[in-house]
Structure 1
Amino acid sequence: MGYQHVEHTFEPVFDEHSKVLILGSFPSVKSREEGFYYGHPQNRFWRLLARLTDEEIPETIEEKKTLLLKHQIAIWDVVHSCDIVGSSDSSIKNVVPCELEKVLSSSPIRQIYANGGKAWQLYHRYCEKETGREAVKLPSTSPANAIFTLDRLTAVWGEELFGKQNTK
């Protein structure tokens, strides 16, 4: 499989109460097929957020949006369009970044978090100057980041997002 030029096809999730913005790099093939963030069943994002917020693991897109907004979390991706091979973050090139100001000007975002090193790197390269804000790099919820178990992710993400030492 070679490079394919792909555009982001779904909107950010946020409202006027969102206090944190979590950025991924670009939707995986599975997420693009599903039409929503973190659609690969092995990605731990939704299990992690459910654990951190003491909620049930959301199944539908509406349940996922409800979980995010209830806990004042906004999500989006750094990249609006790019050339990519499959779902490989390491293959991303010819980046056009998302216009993050859409969220930042409409919500009282106190902190931006990057879900993984590639999202952080892309944010730093393409968005930080425009937003004037640094992003905190969190360990990726991707199944490719196997060194971080769900328990380790819970500890690091919980401390950063919610000040929890914990958790379960």
Structure 2
Amino acid sequence: MSSCSGFAPILPENPTIMILGTMPSVASLEEAFYYAHPRNTFWPILAKAFQQPIETVEQKIALCRQHAILLWDVLAFCERSGSLDSAIKQPEANDFESLFKRFPDLKTVLFNGKAAQNLFEKQVMKTQTLPDDLVFHSLPSTSPANAQLSFENKRVLWHQTLEQTGVK
């Protein structure tokens, strides 16, 4: 079991949507950037959604900023062996209360997987004061551990939600 610390958020100037994962994977921690595992479909899904190349870290950050997407994780810290969300112990949430006060136009939260939603409900909604008008959407995890859905099925669900929320 090792201690894991999350990353600082990718902060656009005036975010309108936030995408939340749980905690960076071992591969992401090693690369020091979000969704770095080569089989994670997060960045390929966004590349197709916005029809722009996002191969470098700089391009990924630019895409988030260009489309007002705040990218972060539910947890700031945890204990975990490996990368599986099911292995998370002693979770500590990020400070969302301050974040929503700082960005009052931020009203939509997309969860990258059920585990992110469940952690947010347990670790954030029960302990922090959040705006009443937030809208939440749970999407299929882009993790390679989520093999139940094909890339195409994940892509379609993510694209539909991005369109519904006005991002795409």
TM-score by length of 1: 0.88
Runs of at least 5 residues in structure 2 that lack an aligned partner in the other structure: none
Alpha-carbon distance, 1:106 to partner: 3.0
Q: Deviations over 1:93-144 (max 9, x none)?
A: 1111011234323332121111001111100101124224463211001111
Change (3 A) 1:62 1:146: same
After superposition, the CA RMSD in angstroms is: 1.6
1:76 aligned onto 2:72? yes
Runs of at least 5 residues in structure 1 that lack an aligned partner in the other structure: none
Larger mean Cα displacement after TM superposition, 136-145 or 124-133: 124-133
**Counterpart residue number, 2:47:** 50
Aligned runs of 1:27-106 on 2, under 5 Å? 27-56=24-53, 58-106=54-102
TM-score by length of 2: 0.88
Identity percentage of aligned residues: 35
Aligned equivalents of 1:64 and 1:105: distance in 2? 26
Contact kept, 8 Å, 1:23 with 1:77, in 2: the verdict is: yes
Q: Deviations over 1:33-56 (max 9, x none)?
A: 111100101000000001111111
Aligned runs of 1:129-168 on 2, under 5 Å? 129=126, 130=128, 131-132=130-131, 133=134, 135-163=136-164
Aligned equivalents of 1:52 and 1:70: distance in 2? 13
Aligned equivalents of 2:99 and 2:49: distance in 1? 23
Alpha-carbon distance, 1:162 to partner: 1.5
**Counterpart residue number, 1:121:** 118
May I ask how many residue pairs the two structures share in their alignment?
Answer: 160
